[in-house]
């Protein structure tokens, strides 16, 4: 039992922040995202405690979190990314992005483009938004995404392609204004 506890603790340390960021991008409430992330690990622990085997922890945790997020969507309507990050707490979309230590013009432009893309994601319908977040924010391969959402690689590839088209159609007016 001691080895399982160590492995689970290591998985928590390794994946907690990653899962929280993913959940935060998908939900409108950071506190609720934290709760769902914690619930993910609780359910994983209960599953392991029942004697069930988890072959790969990361995909198992993502699938568990995904199911919790789907349940959350069923309870309430999704809200925009901007309302997710509460201005009253001093948080912005910028706070969800990795820190910029380079301080170069190229990096600043990339971050600006990234911020526009994150804001535009709220306009993309959910099945496409999910795969775009998993692919381009969480850096998962189509095969890994397919395992997490319980779909075929082909379905994932099609959703990524269509999601990018929808994201592009949302972003094009923004770039024309610049």
Residue 38 has pLDDT above 50, yes or no: yes
Contacts of residue 88, Cβ cutoff 8 Å, sequence gap at least 6: none
Average pLDDT, stretch 74-85?
51
What digits encode the pLDDT tens for the residues 107-125?
Answer: 555 555 667 777 778 888 8
If asked whether residues 178 and 105 sit together in one domain, one would say yes
What region, left, alpha or beta, does residue 132 occupy, with left being phi > 0 and alpha being psi -120 to 50 degrees?
A: alpha
pTM to 2 decimals? 0.53
Q: 159: domain range?
A: 100-178
Average pLDDT, whole number, for the chain? Answer: 78
If asked whether residues 177 and 105 sit together in one domain, one would say yes
Residue with the larger pLDDT of the pair 154 and 175? 154
If asked whether residues 118 and 61 sit together in one domain, one would say no
Domain end marker among 21, 46, 77: 77
Average pLDDT, stretch 84-106?
50
Instruction: Burial-class residue 74 by CB neighbours within 10 Å (0-12, 13-18, 19+).
Output: exposed
> Residue 95: inside a domain, yes or no?
no
User: Which of 67-71, 76-80, 113-117, 123-127 comes out lowest in average pLDDT?
Assistant: 76-80
Residue with the larger pLDDT of the pair 97 and 53? 53
As a whole number of angstroms, the distance between CA 112 and CA 167 comes to 16
> Residue 159: inside a domain, yes or no?
yes
pLDDT confidence of residue 81: 44
If asked whether residues 65 and 139 sit together in one domain, one would say no
Greatest mean pLDDT among 106-115, 137-146, 152-161 lies in 152-161
- What is the signed CA dihedral for 47, 38, 142, 53, rounded to 10 degrees? -10
Average pLDDT, stretch 68-79?
70
- What is the signed CA dihedral for 129, 24, 173, 109, rounded to 10 degrees? -120
If asked whether residues 2 and 47 sit together in one domain, one would say yes
> Residue 94: inside a domain, yes or no?
no
Q: How many domains does the chain have?
A: 2
If asked whether residues 69 and 104 sit together in one domain, one would say no
Nearest to 119 by CA among 139, 136, 94, 98: 94
> Residue 126: inside a domain, yes or no?
yes
> Residue 86: inside a domain, yes or no?
no
> Residue 31: inside a domain, yes or no?
yes
- Return the CATH number at 124: 1.10.10.10
> Residue 82: inside a domain, yes or no?
no
Domain end marker among 45, 77, 109: 77
As a whole number of angstroms, the distance between CA 72 and CA 34 comes to 13
If asked whether residues 51 and 114 sit together in one domain, one would say no
pLDDT confidence of residue 114: 65
> Residue 6: inside a domain, yes or no?
yes
pLDDT confidence of residue 134: 87
If asked whether residues 16 and 51 sit together in one domain, one would say yes
């Amino acid at each position: 039992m001691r080895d399982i506890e160590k492995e689970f603790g290591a998985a928590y340390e390794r994946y907690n922040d990653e899962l929280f960021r993913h959940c935060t991008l998908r939900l409108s409430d950071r506190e609720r995202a934290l709760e769902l992330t914690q619930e993910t690990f609780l359910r994983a622990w209960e599953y392991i405690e029942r004697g069930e085997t988890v072959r790969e922890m990361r995909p198992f945790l993502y699938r568990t979190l995904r199911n919790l997020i789907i349940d959350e969507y069923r309870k309430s309507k999704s809200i925009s990314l901007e309302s997710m990050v509460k201005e009253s707490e001093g948080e912005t979309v910028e706070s969800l992005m990795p820190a910029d230590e380079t301080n170069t013009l190229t990096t600043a432009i990339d971050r600006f483009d990234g911020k526009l893309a994150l804001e535009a994601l709220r306009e993309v319908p959910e099945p496409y938004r999910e795969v775009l977040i998993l692919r381009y924010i969480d850096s998962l391969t189509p095969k890994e995404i397919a395992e997490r959402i319980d779909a075929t690689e082909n379905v994932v590839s099609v959703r990524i392609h269509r999601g990018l088209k929808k994201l592009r159609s949302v972003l094009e007016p923004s770039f024309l204004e610049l």
